[in-house]
Structure 1
């Protein structure tokens, strides 16, 4: 019995020891986690203590106690050392960049285009500068969006959509301990774009997005393109292609009808007598049209219609019904096709490249029909002048003498005369087609040659226009 009790006692002691070790290890791990969290969660600088050192929300909420969203940030600057183009006052500088997700539609009829983009702005607000006590970066403040001052940015050439109203549910904002605010919006806006269609459909369009401030003049606020090297608190302007880095495109951005060839970022100003000068930013997109659709559905079919019209010269000149039907069919086909294509284009008062193409094709098709009409009419007139066209006169009348001794002619003799006249007409009537056939052969040669020369001139002019370089654009 004693041995059993000893064994039970030893077993219970071992279990207690194991449990004690597990509890001790668990407490040690919890203590280490608490120490790590305390170290990572501290936002206070060394030597500064505060109850909010581990409470970022508490730090941010205190900054907005005496903050007025109706007062813009002000940062007095030293005027010494600034150039003529630099601003030296307490104006706030707002840097802007675009990340374009999609060009939703480009309408040549309505003269507009729609873009979906992420618009980011950043500016310095000295009222939120707590870098002497705290240190944090990219602290989210979208819960305080109704409490902070925001730039009144708007698109000057917008036809529909508004950056503030459309993007209000899709906004984010961050602030750093130095007072740097970054504000991001997702925007879908329809912008006006005046398009020149002289070279349509081999044209290149230039569409711009122009943004500016609605209520703040240059003495209060100025926009700057985003500086990849960091925010410039003095707002010094950069020039050249380095500005283009402020606008980027999504990697899968594709357009059905256009290629984005390049873009160019620049600065602009708007002066008004009543309200003063306003700053603005302008980005211009160079869009090259993909004319493969028009090659398939406009140029190639009309080319085939011209070819079919040329085949009428290979049909015999006396096949009046066949050549007339073929000529009218080609004319009607070309008119129908051109009307279908031009119905999709705006009604402009100048001649487009595709108008010239259809006009020349129509001229060639009509010329084939007019050539046959001229040949047929001229041949009939020539035959009538030479007596080959008999009208209502019968062969019996030609074979009957006009003298008074008609009764003396024997039937056999009149029969021989009738045969001679019939043979003579059979040999002479087809002669009128000789001139028509010569003219047909002449047209059959010069018709395709002239059309080929036109094609060489046409395509060299309009395809060459798109290869002219423009130093303003760099992609």
Structure 2
């Protein structure tokens, strides 16, 4: 157009978030999309307005009937966009006294949102809302925020059971639309930030799996002669931890990389498994003790030599038991320190 680029003002009110599909990586939102622009070639008759009315609503067909110029904003990564309507679409057009045209309509938008779950369940998902012109370059058109730009209903956060919700606006004036047309085109961008609420995971996953590890340490304080009791305790704790992990896997978003919750369960399973391996070493030491003592009794028949061998293996057994109590507990506590600092700080 002559006289420089036309400034088109955009705004959006998000009235609701209907769904966050982590497997499909999409977000379904209800929005009121509004566009405001001024076409200097148009002049409205003054008698169209009165002293109390600075804007006149008109039908949607007016722009087409008069063959008026219209901006062409579009939203990136839209999978589906349906207009909300009852008898007619929710929205309309207003002609304003200052010569500007206001267009607004309600839509239900299914928006693609790449999600990454490396920090799950402490992850923060960022969904970009990018609005650009499809064909008009920055030489013909510029975009600016109208009013608050993109805003959201205060009730959204209460309706999202698993997430906390926030907006971050970016002052982007142009962007490259590679794959559509060449050049720089007006663009506005905002970010919807979804921070997962992880309290339920702490109570339902982390606390129980930690307790299974602590229960497995109880075997360190039982006598080595209690073979059935220690074995059943450790195997039960190991299988229960694995079963809990399998249940969590079915309820959490799939990923082909290691997530925070995978690291946690790997450490818990290894902690219980190492307690089982430690008891296997104790049993081997006791078997070795019996074998050496019986062998020395037969050829030497020396009670002093037999007592020395028995004392040696008893001391070895006590060292292994004590070392396991200290090493395993300290290792798991150190892992917890590193883990929680990494994901919560």
TM-score by length of 1: 0.62
The higher-RCO structure (CA 8 Å, 6+ apart) is: 2
| Kept in 1: contact 2:35–2:103 (CA 8 A) | yes
Distance 1:458 1:271, change over 3 A: closer
Correspondence for 2:151: 248
Correspondence for 1:292: 199
3-state SS, counterpart of residue 171 of structure 2: strand
The structure in which a higher percent of residues are strand is 2
Distance 1:273 1:155, change over 3 A: closer
| Kept in 2: contact 1:97–1:119 (CA 8 A) | yes
3-state SS, counterpart of residue 108 of structure 2: strand
In 1, Cα distance between equivalents of 2:21 and 2:178: 31
In 1, Cα distance between equivalents of 2:44 and 2:27: 44
Correspondence for 1:204: 124
| Kept in 2: contact 1:155–1:163 (CA 8 A) | no
TM-score by length of 2: 0.83
Correspondence for 1:269: 175
In 1, Cα distance between equivalents of 2:13 and 2:246: 40
Deviations 1:243-270 (A, max 9, x none): xx31222121212122124412332322
Deviations 1:36-62 (A, max 9, x none): xxxxxxxxxxxxxxxxxxxxxxxxxxx
3-state SS, counterpart of residue 439 of structure 1: helix
Of 6, 12, 20 in structure 2, the residue corresponding to residue 106 of structure 1 is 20
Correspondence for 1:224: 144
Matches within 5 A, 1:314-333: 314-333=221-240
In 2, Cα distance between equivalents of 1:204 and 1:388: 65
Pairwise CA distance, 1:438: 4.5
Distance 1:367 1:273, change over 3 A: closer
| Kept in 2: contact 1:217–1:276 (CA 8 A) | no
Deviations 1:144-184 (A, max 9, x none): 45536443332211122256999x72222211233211111
| Kept in 2: contact 1:105–1:114 (CA 8 A) | yes
In 2, Cα distance between equivalents of 1:389 and 1:170: 96
Pairwise CA distance, 1:213: 2.7
| Kept in 2: contact 1:128–1:177 (CA 8 A) | no
Distance 1:388 1:320, change over 3 A: farther
3-state SS, counterpart of residue 343 of structure 1: helix
Of 258, 276, 283 in structure 1, the residue corresponding to residue 163 of structure 2 is 258
In 1, Cα distance between equivalents of 2:270 and 2:189: 45
2:61 is the counterpart of 1:154: no
Correspondence for 1:139: 56
Deviations 1:282-307 (A, max 9, x none): 11123322111211221111111111
Correspondence for 1:171: 91
Correspondence for 1:339: 246
Distance 1:266 1:103, change over 3 A: farther
2:32 is the counterpart of 1:118: yes
| Kept in 2: contact 1:127–1:179 (CA 8 A) | no
2:190 is the counterpart of 1:283: yes
Pairwise CA distance, 1:275: 3.2
Correspondence for 1:301: 208
Deviations 1:81-125 (A, max 9, x none): xxxxxxx2xx43221011111222223322222221111111113
3-state SS, counterpart of residue 308 of structure 1: helix
Distance 1:110 1:272, change over 3 A: closer
Of 173, 184, 189 in structure 1, the residue corresponding to residue 104 of structure 2 is 184
Unaligned runs of 5+ in 2: none
Pairwise CA distance, 1:357: 0.8
| Kept in 2: contact 1:109–1:345 (CA 8 A) | no
In 2, Cα distance between equivalents of 1:103 and 1:373: 54
3-state SS, counterpart of residue 161 of structure 1: strand
In 2, Cα distance between equivalents of 1:359 and 1:460: 18
3-state SS, counterpart of residue 348 of structure 1: coil
In 2, Cα distance between equivalents of 1:273 and 1:437: 71
2:265 is the counterpart of 1:362: no
Correspondence for 1:384: 291
| Kept in 1: contact 2:289–2:310 (CA 8 A) | no
3-state SS, counterpart of residue 184 of structure 1: strand
